Amino acid sequence: MKNALLSSLLLWSVVAFGQTAKVLIVGDSWAQQQYSDGIHDAVFDVNGYPDISILDNADAAAVAIDGTTAEDWVDPVELQKITDALVNNPSVDTVQLTLGGNDFLNNWHTDMTLMETDALKAGIVADLQVIVDAILAVDSQIEIIMSFYDYPNFEETTSGFFGETCATLHNGMLNPTPSEINNMALEFTDAFVEISNQNIKVFHVPHWGRMQNAYGSSDGSFGPGDIPLPGYTELTSPLVAMRTHFGFVKDCFHLEPAGYDILVQALFEDYFLYRFDTVYKSHFE
């Protein structure tokens, strides 16, 4: 897929003039990086849909923002940006929603009681529901694909001066083990996904364990393909999958473009194919 991605990126400028923007990416840094890396258009191209693209303009850039939370987006001013992006670009009929990760990472810690954890979880779900309702209020034909995250790596990214950001975040959670943070992340995601279970216009494709499956473990004890989805919660995502900044600083939470490529390919196979292929889809409606 990596070679196909590179080839597709080179061809993108040739076919872009004939594309129809059908997908809007809304959310946080994972949304913003997928948007900036141009992953979706490349994946759509190599899978036989070069005429379909994500929305790529000022409206789209305004709704995929690094560091944002679901709580941020329920502010009426911010929520209006999502509505405006859809109203101003009527060809868009699908929204990828990637939110909730920062709400979890910034607020959860290992000393929280069950009641406190449930309250945090319910608050994030309520915020996500407000955003979903606002999107669907624009047009009843819009569909939402909820796309979340993969396991972080706080084990190999928090040391030294350049690990300060990740170390601070990890310390704020009271230094959970991989099992603690991964299992809690799965629990929170299960709560988020209830929104899709209750609305026929909302879908979800899980990503937990994709980097472990694609690359194996950081220590080499498991190779590519050895770890089935949803991965092993006692392990981190492997370091090779984590995003590199300034050529040598490894991120604790975000993925390299190749990792997002794997993630969006899964979105295509499990959702976008059926969304785009109306002939195939008609057999199931």
Question: What tens digit of pLDDT does each residue of 227-278 get?
Answer: 999 999 999 999 999 999 999 999 999 999 999 999 999 999 999 999 998 6
Contact of 185 with 241, CB cutoff 8 Å: no
List the one residue out of 134, 135, 105 whose CA is nearest residue 120.
105
Encoding tokens for residue 95?
């929204």
Rounded distance between C-alpha atoms, residue 129 and residue 142, angstroms: 15
pTM of the predicted protein model: 0.91
Q: What is the pLDDT of residue 2?
A: 47
Are β-strands 94-98 and 143-147 bridged in parallel, bridged antiparallel, or unpaired? Answer: parallel
Those residues with Cβ within 8 angstroms of residue 246's Cβ, 6 or more apart along the chain or in another chain: none
Q: What is the pLDDT of residue 283?
A: 38
Angle between helices 257-267 and 2-15 (to 10 degrees): 80
Tell me which residues of the chain have a pLDDT lower than 70: 1-17, 278-285
Q: What is the pLDDT of residue 25?
A: 98
Those residues with Cβ within 8 angstroms of residue 35's Cβ, 6 or more apart along the chain or in another chain: 25, 54, 56, 60, 61, 64
Q: Locate all alpha helices (DSSP H) within the chain, ordered by sequence.
A: 2-15, 29-37, 39-46, 58-61, 70-73, 76-88, 101-107, 114-138, 164-172, 178-197, 210-215, 257-267, 273-276, 278-282
Q: Locate all alpha helices (DSSP H) within 89-209, ordered by sequence.
A: 101-107, 114-138, 164-172, 178-197
Q: What is the pLDDT of residue 162?
A: 81
Encoding tokens for residue 3?
């070679």
State the sign of the Cα–Cα–Cα–Cα dihedral 79, 83, 84, 86: positive
Q: What is the pLDDT of residue 19?
A: 86
Q: What is the pLDDT of residue 193?
A: 97
Angle between helices 76-88 and 114-138 (to 10 degrees): 40
Q: What is the pLDDT of residue 278?
A: 67
Contact of 274 with 281, CB cutoff 8 Å: yes
Where does residue 56 rank: exposed (0-12), middle (13-18), buried (19+ CB within 10 A)? middle
Q: What is the pLDDT of residue 65?
A: 98
